[in-house]
Structure 1
Amino acid sequence: MSESGNEMLEVNVGDTVEGTVVKVDEKQVLVDIGYKTEGIVPIGELSNLHIEVAGDVVKEGDQLTLMVKKVEDDEVILSKKAVDSDKAWLELEDKYKNEVVFETEIKEIVKGGLVVDVGLRGFIPASLVETFYVEDFSDYINKSLSVKIVDLDREQNRVILSHRAVTEEESATQKQDILQSLKEGQVLEGTIQRLTNFGVFVDIGGIDGLVHISQLSHQRVEKASDVVSEGQKIKVEVLSIDRDNERISLSHKKTLAGPWTEVSSKVSTGDILEGTVKRLVNFGAFVEVLPGIEGLVHISQIANRHIGTPQEVLEVGQKVEVKVLDVNEKEQRMSLSIKELEQEQAAAEYKKYEKDEEQSSFQLGDMIGNKLDKYKK
């Protein structure tokens, strides 16, 4: 007991006093404040948060700043919570005014959100925890989150915080940084976020870009889901950036080896291939001979006879046999001929016919010869 307490005989409600913890019971703490009797801090006045035992918050020898709550028959009831609250409110008002982002620890999970310790009891509603839906918050207990205050009312004792707001601001900043740093022609790895009927949206590190369906593959794509899936990582090349509207056009096709790559190792002059007529133009027909590889059958190479338009002989979707006249991998061009095959086929048939003729006349000679022999006898 402090004898210097004679100077502190007057202890009034509302006073702030300093004291040393001398005893910690389960539901209260005794503090030497230099008064004739030790002050009592009930467990409910130790913290703004719910605590089970006083020892969770203080221990013997701790120096505390306390507020006098009640003085009655030399019994002094003190509050640590009231002092912490005053200090915390001043700090929180400053943080709210200046939109400060700070760290806080999750102390409880309650219906509708999370309770945090911000010097007093703060609340993060479930909708303000993340930018996405969280079904189970059990992993958040004792976890530290960066937050900002979104609503503060001392009269109502209301402190509403948001981690989501911090995440959204960080995303917006990150998005702007990426938008400014992107360059046309840049190749990046991204993750497919969602598929639409006109293409796919790809996350390239905090911002989404669009790969139009025509830029997914060298072959024609009917549905994006035929070639890619959600969550898949793909390489993309930046085609264009619209910074004002935050739109980025990407291409996956440009990062893939084209169908013409090393085509000369697959196709040579003189090869006979089967193809499909893809397009008819006034000067000939384009025939696909390998996936994504079309060659031109010039109108003069379509038939043995003179024709006015390719449509006279061919139609789109028709299967045809063609002979390769020339392959130019660099310029991605291939010249084909249907006429040459027909001529070769006709020549082969004529030869076969000649051979058959020779054989039949020889056999006839033999047969007649034999009969003549009969008459010779």
Structure 2
Amino acid sequence: MELKNEEMEKLYAETFHSIQEGAILKGKIISLRHDGVIVDVGFKSEGFIPIEEFSEEEMNNMQIGADLDVFVEKIEDAEGMLMLSKDRATKIKVWEMLENALRDGTPVEGRIVGKTKGGFSVDIYGVTAFLPGSQVDMKPLKDIDNLIGKKLSFRVLKLNSKLSNVIVSRRIILEEEMRKRKAETLERLQEGQLMTGVIKNITDYGVFVDLGGIDGLLHISDISWGRINHPSEFFAIGDEISVLVLKFDQANEKVTLGYKQKKPDPWTLVDDKYPVGKKVHGRVVSITDYGAFIELEEGLEGLVHISEIDWLSRLKHPSKYLSVGETVDALVLKVDKDERRLSLSIKQVKPSPWTLVSQRYAVGQRVSGKVKTITDFGVFVGLPEGIDALIHISDISWTKHIRHPSEVLKKGQKIDAVVLSIDPEAEKMALGLKQLEQDPWLHDFPERFKLGSEVMSKVLTITDFGIF
């Protein structure tokens, strides 16, 4: 009977695995306690993992029957249980993975968890690695705090298990990826090809576009057919754009790009779209001393010379009539496709004021206006139509000897006058102030002052040749 019991015990013992301290085993969770987790590893005794090795989230999500890798710390404690460690099993497996990664050059995943002196701390499945600042990126980063919490790929540079020292690099991964992208881009890069890229940098003379491991220059002159002051008016860093390869120097790996070339040059159809005499609508984009430039469409501008802004003869600066951004109607006067010049007129959209004057006024008609300018030879009177008519000094008074018009009239004074003549072609109009009254020399004076009669008079002027 004793022999049978010994045989039974021997057979029972053989059903269990041979377990040694320091081994890593795969176990199955069979029970959750307030102080830890009970795990079955196929040994005669159950294993115990202290609760301190689990986070609150891990405990909440833990399920009976789930598999778990464990490290055997002690075969049996006072209670006859195996003392196990989840953390040590994880770390050992991670170290094995890190050693393989160092040997093979394979990347490992980790999360940047914080900043430290000279770089960052990276969590790789529970093992803390050091990421030097020089190995973060291929170029200095402005906002390094943005990296905290990000999960990225790294290359293991150095490993010392005794000192628990791990040094990793993200820069090497990025450089390898860039070289791979560059090789792929160079294979398909050719002149005339339409490609997609990302704005990498913006300068005064253009923008640099990352085409995939290789940068291309989009010069400011190739951004738009129209007026452009700075590339930032069109693009921002990080924008994804479609560009045309204009030139590719394979030997020097220089790429020249075009953006405006995706659309046809608007000047090629200017003769058909904007014939002489056509009324057009556009936006004022620039004002100079000699006129204003009107954009009719992107890349197509016409000049309105200062003389074509208004019908007034004495024009002020164009900025007194127009503002940048304002939309106006104009008339096409001249088109020169070869010289890329388009002449426009704003004033000719409206009828000439001299046409209106010739229609509204007749010789002998009484008109009203304000004195605008006083000269030695007369005064100019502004009429509602926007023209100035001249009252000659000789047409101010029938009887007074006027040395200067300012003796009688003041600037801004509102007066009535009579139309003496109108010449629309010469843009001249003469008015008379004295003609508001009948000429006294025709009837009044001959009747009042008979030949040979005596009169009382006042000496006004004495000259060498007589007295007035």
TM-score (norm 1): 0.55
Q: Is the 8 A contact 1:260 1:293 kept in 2?
A: no
Q: Is 1:179–2:186 an aligned residue pair?
A: yes
Tell me which residue corresponds to 2:158: 151
Partners in 1 of 2:340 and 2:41 — Cα distance?
99
Per the alignment, residue 55 of structure 2 pairs with 51
Q: Deviations over 1:324-345 (max 9, x none)?
A: 6x96x5xx36899xxxxxxxxx
Once the two structures are superposed, residues 176-235 of structure 1 have per-residue CA deviations (whole angstroms, 9 ceiling, x without a partner) of 2112211112234545433223322233455431122343445686x4348534246655
The equivalent position to 1:135 in structure 2, one of 145, 148, 154, is: 145
Gaps of 5+ in 2: 1-7, 279-292, 303-332, 343-422, 427-468
1:30 to 29, 38, 42: 38
Q: State the identity %.
A: 28
Q: Which has the higher contact order (CA 8 A, sep 6+)?
A: 1
Q: 1:206 to 1:65 in 2, by over 3 A?
A: closer
Q: Quick check: 2:180–2:213 contact (8 Å CA) kept in 1?
A: no
* Structure 1 unpaired stretches of 5+: 272-287, 295-322, 337-352, 357-377
Partner of residue 237, structure 1:
244
3-state SS of paired residue (1:193): strand
Counterparts in 2 of 1:56 and 1:81: CA distance versus 1, 3 Å = farther
Residues 9-44 of structure 1: CA deviation (Å, up to 9, x unaligned): 997643556655433224422344566654332245
Equivalent position of 1:100 in the other structure: 106
Partners of 1:18 and 1:289 lie apart in 2 by 79
Root-mean-square deviation over aligned CA pairs? 4.9
Q: Could you tell me which residue of structure 2 aligns to residue 195 of structure 1?
A: 202
Question: Which secondary structure does the structure 1 equivalent of 2:268 belong to?
Answer: coil
Q: Give 1:242-253 correspondences, 5 Å limit.
A: 242-253=249-260
Which of the pair has more CA radius of gyration? 2
> Equivalents in 2 of 1:174, 1:109: separation in Å?
29
Given residue 49 of structure 2, which amino acid in structure 1 is its aligned partner? V
Structure 2 distance, partners of 1:219, 1:16, is: 71
Matches of 2:277 and 2:15, distance apart in 1:
115
Question: In the alignment, is the contact (CA less than 8 A) between 1:43 and 1:54 conserved in 2?
Answer: no
- Quick check: 1:14 aligned with 2:18? no
* Cα distance in 2 between the residues matched to 1:151 and 1:261: 64
Assess, with a 3 A threshold, how the Cα gap between structure 1 residues 115 and 52 changes in structure 2: closer, same or farther.
Answer: farther
Listed as ranges, the matches of 1:1-377 within 5 Å are: 4-5=12-13, 13-15=21-23, 19-32=27-40, 37-44=45-52, 51-52=55-56, 55=59, 59-62=63-66, 64=68, 66-70=70-74, 71-73=76-78, 74=80, 76-102=82-108, 104=109, 106=111, 109-112=113-116, 113=120, 115-118=122-125, 120-123=126-129, 125=131, 132=141, 133-136=143-146, 140=150, 145-163=152-170, 165-205=172-212, 207-218=214-225, 223-225=229-231, 228-231=234-237, 235-265=242-272, 332=338
Q: Is the 8 A contact 2:267 2:340 kept in 1?
A: no
Does the C-alpha gap of structure 1 residues 136 and 27 become closer, same or farther in structure 2, counting only changes over 3 Å? farther
| CA distance 1:268–1:68, shift in 2 (3 Å) | closer
Deviates more, 1:55-64 or 1:166-175: 55-64
Between the aligned partners of 2:254 and 2:193, the Cα distance in structure 1 is 15
Paired residue total: 282
Superimposed CA distance per residue, residues 262-290 of structure 1 (whole angstroms, 9 cap, x where no aligned partner): 1213565899xxxxxxxxxxxxxxxx999
